[in-house]
């Protein structure tokens, strides 16, 4: 009886450990937001938004239009392009046809996004169904169909995490690689 009880405890503990590890590696999921632009509190055109920290620009976003919904804490931007900086050095560029800025969470989520991450060796080009920037962590998370290319390598995956402060991109979901002389 004790052996059978130990067996169940072992499987329960193993399952719990796997759940904790997968939970900590999973980027935060932002809620899907369905917004009716006719109810926007404010609508702006030719928008530039900068995030300043200690007198330095950390992020500069430009968009064709921005619709703000105060009660939801969301700004919907269209034809968005954003540059990220670390100590004045450009670390990434992201663009997308649509993005949601979650002002209360200091996050923004882009759909059908294209990005370039600038590294010491070669730039890394990336496309993703969804990308979410977390200001507090200075990280970008990607989900969905992801294609990453850099000098001679093409990776496909369904998830990534990029730490802009460390200038790293970590492929966290089912990666596949194609290595060629020129892609």
pLDDT at position 129? 92
DSSP H/E element including 114: strand 107-117
The rounded Cα 97 to chain-centroid distance in angstroms is 15
User: Per the confidence metrics, is the pTM higher than 0.85?
Assistant: no
pLDDT beneath 50, residues of the chain = 1-34, 37, 183
11, two tokens: 């499987």
Please answer whether residues 161 and 140 qualify as being in contact, where contact means their C-beta atoms are separated by less than 8 angstroms: yes
**Residue 63's pLDDT is what?**
92
Name the token pair of 90.
Answer: 């450009």
Across all residues in the chain, what is the average pLDDT? Answer: 77
Phi, psi of 177 (to 5 degrees): -120, 145
| Among candidate residues 173, 176, 164, the one with its CA nearest the CA of residue 82 | 164
E-state strands within 17-103: 42-53, 56-69, 74-86, 89-102
Distance CA 9, CA 164 (A): 41
Tell me the chain's radius of gyration from C-alpha atoms: 20
Residue 164 confidence (pLDDT): 73
The CATH code of domain 35-179 reads 2.60.450.10
Phi, psi of 66 (to 5 degrees): -140, 125
| Cβ 109 vs Cβ 99: under 8 Å | yes
* Amino acid 62: pLDDT: 92
8 Å CB contact between 171 and 157: yes
Residue that is written with structure tokens 């009880």 in the block: 5
Q: Are 143 and 98 a contacting pair, CB within 8 Å? A: no
Contact 107, 84 (CB under 8 A): no
Q: What is the pLDDT of residues 22-32, one digit of tens each?
A: 444 444 444 44
pLDDT for residue 78: 93
């Amino acid at each position: 009886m004790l052996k059978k009880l130990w067996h169940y405890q072992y499987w329960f503990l193993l399952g719990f450990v796997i759940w904790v590890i997968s939970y900590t590696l999973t980027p935060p999921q932002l809620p899907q937001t369905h917004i009716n632009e006719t109810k926007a509190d404010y609508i702006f055109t030719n928008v530039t938004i900068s995030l300043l920290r200690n007198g330095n620009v950390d992020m500069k976003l430009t968009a064709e239009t921005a619709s703000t919904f105060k009660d939801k804490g969301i700004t919907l931007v269209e034809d968005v392009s954003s540059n990220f900086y670390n100590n004045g050095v450009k670390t990434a560029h992201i663009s997308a046809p649509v993005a949601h800025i979650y002002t209360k969470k200091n996050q923004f989520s882009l759909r059908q996004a294209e990005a370039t991450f600038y590294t010491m060796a070669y730039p890394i080009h990336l496309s993703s169904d969804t990308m979410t920037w977390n200001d507090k962590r200075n990280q970008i998370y990607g989900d969905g169909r992801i294609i990453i290319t850099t000098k001679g390598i093409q990776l496909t995956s369904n998830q990534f995490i990029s730490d802009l402060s460390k200038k790293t991109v970590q492929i966290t979901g089912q990666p596949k690689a194609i290595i060629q002389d020129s892609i």
